Amino acid sequence: MAYFDVIIIGAGAAGLMCAATAGQRGRSVLLLDHAAKLAEKIRISGGGRCNFTNLQARPECYLSENPHFCRSALSQFSVQDFIRMVERHGIGYHEKTLGQLFCDESSQQIIDMLDGLCREAGVDRRMGVTVGTVERSDRFRVHSSAGVFESASLVVATGGLSIPQIGATGFGYQLAEQFGLALTPRVPALVPLTFHADDVARFAPLAGVSLDAVASCGKTRFRENVLFTHKGLSGPAILQVSSYWTPGQELVLDLLPELDAEAYLGEREGSEQLLANALADTGWPKRFAQAWLDGAGFGGRVKDLPGKRRRQLAETLHHWRVRPNGTQGYKKAEVTRGGVSTRDLSSKTMMAKDVPGLFFIGEVVDVTGWLGGYNFQWAWSSGFVAGENC
């Protein structure tokens, strides 16, 4: 039976980083993945250009039962560490917005870099391998379609549940349960939200429009674009708040964050201008202004809006309340919120506290980043830390 110091299940972002790191330390590493193609999520990420990190990554940008858990890994392998790695490999990159770093050319460059590092480190990487059962006595024994393998350390890097069509499974959660680790509830996150049927009909004419807005869910606010879709709301601001949203909760949108709407309309008091045109003058698409006013129950000319109604309209523009009825689910979610409980893992090594040699890294863990490169940074940092300790 073949023996390796380390077996890693899942050759995605975290698994590749862990394999390269462990291999460079001289550990013999077997990296197994059931998908035919390597690191599909890296390939499709960032519109094909991989938003590989964020200059502003810090623990506050991550959701977890223990918000401090990610601190150690993020400092052991930082944003700057990954940038240095990218630069060493001659990969051109640029900041798009809000600290988000993207490849100039293609996300394939990130895959090739990590795969190259694994090859240099002598990692035995096998794709298209189905992993069956895992047992543990003094070693881990992994039964797979490529044979039975044994190892001193087992690293679970199987990712989350989003986009099942490219290989996502809940296998990592099953393994966690098998070895007695707790799981926190898992839900789709960074995901478009859907309207109730009435609102779908009411706001259908707005589909395709994108606006700068502040989206709030409870005390959490994000200012970015909001996109109206045929099913509800999407765009970066909505994806961000979706990670904080719980069913039944209301979202509040400030649709004119740059403006004091009451003062703006007040300045036009007595004007013959149509309200829709007055809003279009703020930069809103005319079609959107008309449809939104209809949906919100306002219309006519500015001069016909008495002071009380004007205040109501201004209030609605700055605090437009929407109660989504759900999300578009794992098919459209970028990540899974929740996962292997941080209570059962060491934040310094990513090893299970009660199962020596067993590690969980990347998205399978209950650490979920904001939109914008934060999730890959978590994969690199947690992967590196496990690679140093497995």
Ligand X SMILES: Cc1cc2nc3c(=O)[nH]c(=O)nc-3n(C[C@H](O)[C@H](O)[C@H](O)COP(=O)(O)OP(=O)(O)OC[C@H]3O[C@@H](n4cnc5c(N)ncnc54)[C@H](O)[C@@H]3O)c2cc1C
Q: Minimum CB separation from ligand X for residue 377, in Å? A: 7
Measured CA to CA, the distance from residue 8 to residue 390 in angstroms comes to: 10
Q: Minimum CB separation from ligand X for residue 361, in Å? A: 7
Number of Cβ within 10 Å of residue 55's Cβ equals: 14
Cβ nearer to ligand X, comparing 137 with 165: 165
CB distance 352 to 189 below 8 Å: no
Which residue number places its CB atom closest to ligand X? 12
In degrees rounded to 5, what are phi and psi of residue 260?
A: -95, 100
Q: Mapping DSSP to helix (H, G, I), strand (E, B) and coil, where does residue 66 land?
A: coil
- Which residue has tokens 């990954």? 82
Read off the amino acid at residue 384.
F
Q: Minimum CB separation from ligand X for residue 382, in Å? A: 8
Cβ nearer to ligand X, comparing 64 with 216: 64
CA distances from 186 to 54, 156, 207, 336, 359 (A): 24, 17, 29, 6, 19
Q: Mapping DSSP to helix (H, G, I), strand (E, B) and coil, where does residue 20 land?
A: helix
Nearest to 1 by CA among 140, 131, 129: 140
The structure tokens listed for 68 are 């401090």
Cβ nearer to ligand X, comparing 45 with 290: 45
Cβ nearer to ligand X, comparing 168 with 278: 168
- Which residue has tokens 């926190």? 184
Nearest to 227 by CA among 243, 217, 218, 238: 238
- Which residue has tokens 């209809």? 294
Q: ∠ CA 3-6-139 to the nearest 5 degrees?
A: 60
Cβ nearer to ligand X, comparing 164 with 283: 164
Q: Minimum CB separation from ligand X for residue 152, in Å? A: 20
Q: Minimum CB separation from ligand X for residue 201, in Å? A: 29
CB distance 319 to 178 below 8 Å: no
The structure tokens listed for 288 are 């959107």
Nearest to 343 by CA among 65, 74, 157, 58: 65
Cβ nearer to ligand X, comparing 163 with 183: 163
Q: Minimum CB separation from ligand X for residue 354, in Å? A: 22
Q: Minimum CB separation from ligand X for residue 44, in Å? A: 5
Q: Minimum CB separation from ligand X for residue 200, in Å? A: 24
Cβ nearer to ligand X, comparing 79 with 335: 335
Cβ nearer to ligand X, comparing 4 with 284: 4
Bridge partner residues of 317 (DSSP): none
Measured CA to CA, the distance from residue 242 to residue 235 in angstroms comes to: 11
CB distance 107 to 92 below 8 Å: no
Bridge partner residues of 29 (DSSP): 6
Interacting residues with ligand X (CB under 6 A): 9-15, 32-35, 39, 41, 44-46, 50-51, 131, 157-159, 162-163, 167-169, 171, 334-335, 362-364, 373-376, 379
Cβ nearer to ligand X, comparing 292 with 376: 376
Cβ nearer to ligand X, comparing 115 with 254: 115
Torsion sign, CA atoms 382, 102, 40, 166 = positive
Q: Minimum CB separation from ligand X for residue 66, in Å? A: 18
Q: Minimum CB separation from ligand X for residue 169, in Å? A: 4
